[in-house]
């Protein structure tokens, strides 16, 4: 029977402002610069504050303040949340990067140069894409990893673009845009898998024997798993082709680029841009947040004035909506900076020996440890560390490098599992490729050295190192 009932529960709702903050927090430095550049182009209420003209701007600001005081807005006594004081007194309005000329030598600012994304965008502009599709394409390009693959869910990228720009693009349209990107040069960019990447390249490659090309496509589309496991005899039998035909197809496949983004980026993109610079001098650790080319931002005074002096209701509503959005954007950048510094300080405080003496002093540490120190949730710590790098006296490391579980040796000593992973890598690098070490054999050798590790743990660490299993490492031909 149908009936009515009441249930009490708790749900978490993310406000648009919180979503924007989390999105900015997730961006590494070079993507943040690109995002701010895009926002400046699209939002007339946001502008760059030039320090060289600061005195003139201060004078204009004072004149605007006097004028506003003499002519108060008609709706000042309404229940509207936004008032002039919200913009004038808010610290975030005049948010600026804390840049000091004395830090020029320690902060790396990349030279202005064309990147792979610039080249791909130029190719896209030559196609018949709408403004909405081009915006989505640029967002997709900004989400590809260093190998050229799109690891982030397309649905989330689409949701972000629609939300930020008030678009109504469908998932089908987004998929079509992604497929268009894959056909650009280099072919395969924005693929979701190696198989898809290779098939796109085979479809666009020219000057190849049609039979060889067709056999290569069948191997990838129908027998990719067998091919990766080097079960070549089974493939030859399944496709009813000769060994020579298979070898020709195999040679063609091996010429394809499984990492279409690697080696195609400019020097700037291939160079890791550190988000932090941490130095140690006389056992004193100094932390600097590298804000690169992030400009000084403020609310445009001219457009701000529209909110208070234009009598047209629609114009005032437009101005109020955009002023509020601009204020939250600047505030989100400020919050991002604060969160990143808090997390970096906590990492340094938890790993002081590493930053003073080197990476052999790395201690076991997990996200939860840092979350408890900075009083933030684990998901926020993960977003802060994802894709962010720190330049130290001992090299440049991704922040997630400092997080590792502990392994207890026979002597009772706790060491970071990063050290175990390095041991595994060293053993595999020096193995006989005709008889590669199995996971069980590696576990046995480590157990003899006092490391109590199970075979399944070896397999997990090997996967984390992107090292295939012994069957795939074996040299057949």
Q: What is the DSSP string of 371-425?
A: HHHHT--HHHHHHHHTT-EEEETTEEEEGGGG-B-EEEBTTS-EEEHHHHHHHHH
Cβ atoms within 10 Å of 200's Cβ, excluding its own:
20
Specify if 249 maps to a domain.
Answer: yes
Domain boundary among 223, 255, 287: 255
Q: CA–CA separation, 192 vs 187, rounded Å?
A: 13
Does residue 211 belong to any structural domain of this protein? yes
Query: How many other C-beta atoms can be found within 10 angstroms of the C-beta atom of residue 115?
Result: 19
Domain end call among 209, 233, 255: 255
- How, if at all, do strands 406-408 and 395-398 pair? unpaired
Is residue 305 packed enough to be buried (19+ CB in 10 Å), middle (13-18) or exposed (0-12)? middle
Residue 460, domain extent: 406-473
* Residue 391 domain flag: no
Q: Is residue 307 part of a domain?
A: no
Per-residue model confidence as pLDDT tens for the chain (477 residues): 556 666 665 555 566 777 778 888 888 888 888 888 888 888 888 888 765 444 444 444 444 444 434 433 444 443 433 333 333 334 433 333 333 434 444 344 444 455 777 788 888 888 888 888 888 888 888 888 877 888 888 888 888 888 878 888 899 999 999 999 888 888 888 888 889 999 999 988 887 888 999 999 999 999 988 888 778 888 899 999 898 899 898 888 888 888 887 655 444 444 678 899 999 887 789 999 988 788 778 887 777 776 666 667 777 777 777 778 888 888 888 899 999 999 999 999 998 888 888 766 778 888 899 999 999 888 889 888 888 899 988 888 889 888 877 777 777 667 777 778 888 888 998 888 888 889 999 989 888 888 888 888 888 888 878 788 887 777 655
CA distance 458 to 420: 9
**Per the structure block, which two tokens stand in for 147?**
């190998």
Last residue of a domain, one of 255, 271, 298: 255
Q: With respect to residue 315, please indicate whether it lies within any of the assigned structural domains.
A: no
**Position 425 in a domain:** yes
Does 410 map to a domain?
Answer: yes
> Is 3 a member of any domain?
no
- CATH code of the domain in which 450 resides: 1.10.10.60
Number of structural domains (the chain) is 2
| pTM (two decimals) | 0.53
Question: Mind giving me the DSSP string for 239-279?
Answer: HT--HHHHHHHHHHHHHS-S-TTTTTS-HHHHS---SEEEE
Task: Please list the helix, strand and coil fractions of the chain in percent, rounded to the nearest 5, in that order.
Answer: 55, 10, 35
Q: At what angle do helices 210-228 and 194-204 cross, to 10 degrees?
A: 170
Question: At CA 113, angle to CA 108 and CA 116, rounded to 5?
Answer: 110
């Amino acid at each position: 029977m149908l009936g009515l009932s009441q249930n009490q529960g708790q749900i978490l709702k993310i406000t648009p402002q919180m979503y924007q903050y989390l999105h900015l927090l997730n961006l590494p430095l070079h993507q943040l610069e690109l995002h701010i550049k895009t926002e400046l182009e699209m939002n007339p209420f946001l502008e760059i504050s030039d320090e060289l003209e600061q005195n003139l701007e201060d004078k204009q600001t004072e004149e605007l303040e006097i004028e506003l005081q003499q002519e108060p807005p008609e709706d000042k006594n309404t229940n509207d949340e936004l008032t002039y004081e919200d913009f004038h007194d808010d610290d975030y309005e005049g948010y600026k990067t804390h840049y000091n000329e004395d830090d020029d030598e320690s902060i790396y600012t990349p030279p202005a140069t064309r990147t792979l994304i610039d080249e791909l965008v130029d190719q896209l502009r030559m196609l018949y894409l709408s403004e909405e599709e081009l915006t989505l394409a640029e967002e997709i390009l900004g989400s590809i990893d260093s190998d050229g693959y799109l690891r982030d869910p397309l649905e989330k990228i689409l949701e972000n673009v629609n939300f930020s720009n008030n678009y109504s693009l469908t998932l089908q349209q987004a998929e079509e845009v992604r497929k268009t990107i894959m056909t650009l040069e280099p072919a395969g960019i924005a693929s979701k898998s190696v198989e898809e990447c290779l098939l796109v390249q085979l479809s666009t490659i020219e000057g190849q024997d049609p039979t060889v090309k067709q056999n290569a496509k069948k191997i990838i589309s129908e027998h990719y798993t067998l091919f990766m496991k080097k079960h070549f005899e089974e493939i030859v039998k399944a496709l009813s082709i000769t060994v020579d035909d298979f070898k020709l197809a195999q040679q063609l496949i091996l010429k394809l680029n499984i990492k279409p983004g690697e080696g195609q980026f400019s020097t700037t993109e291939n160079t890791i841009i550190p988000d932090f610079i941490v130095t140690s001098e006389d056992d004193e650790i100094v932390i600097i947040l590298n804000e690169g080319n992030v400009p000084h931002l403020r609310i445009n005074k001219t457009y701000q004035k529209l909110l208070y002096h234009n009598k047209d209701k629609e114009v005032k509503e437009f101005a109020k909506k955009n002023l509020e959005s601009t204020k939250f954007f600047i505030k989100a950048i400020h919050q991002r900076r604060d969160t990143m510094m808090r997390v970096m300080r906590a990492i340094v405080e938890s790993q002081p020996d590493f930053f003073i003496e080197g990476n052999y002093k790395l201690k076991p540490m997990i996200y939860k440890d840092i979350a408890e120190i900075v009083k933030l949730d684990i998901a926020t710590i993960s977003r802060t560390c994802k894709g962010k790098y720190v330049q130290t006296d001992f090299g440049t490391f991704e922040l997630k490098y400092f997080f590792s579980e502990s392994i207890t040796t026979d002597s009772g000593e706790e060491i970071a599992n990063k050290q175990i992973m390095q041991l595994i890598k060293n053993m595999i690098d020096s193995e006989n490729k005709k008889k590669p070490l199995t996971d069980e054999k590696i576990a046995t050798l480590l157990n003899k050295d006092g490391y109590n590790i199970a075979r399944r743990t070896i397999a997990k660490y090997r996967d984390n190192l992107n090292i295939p299993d012994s069957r795939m490492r074996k040299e057949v031909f």
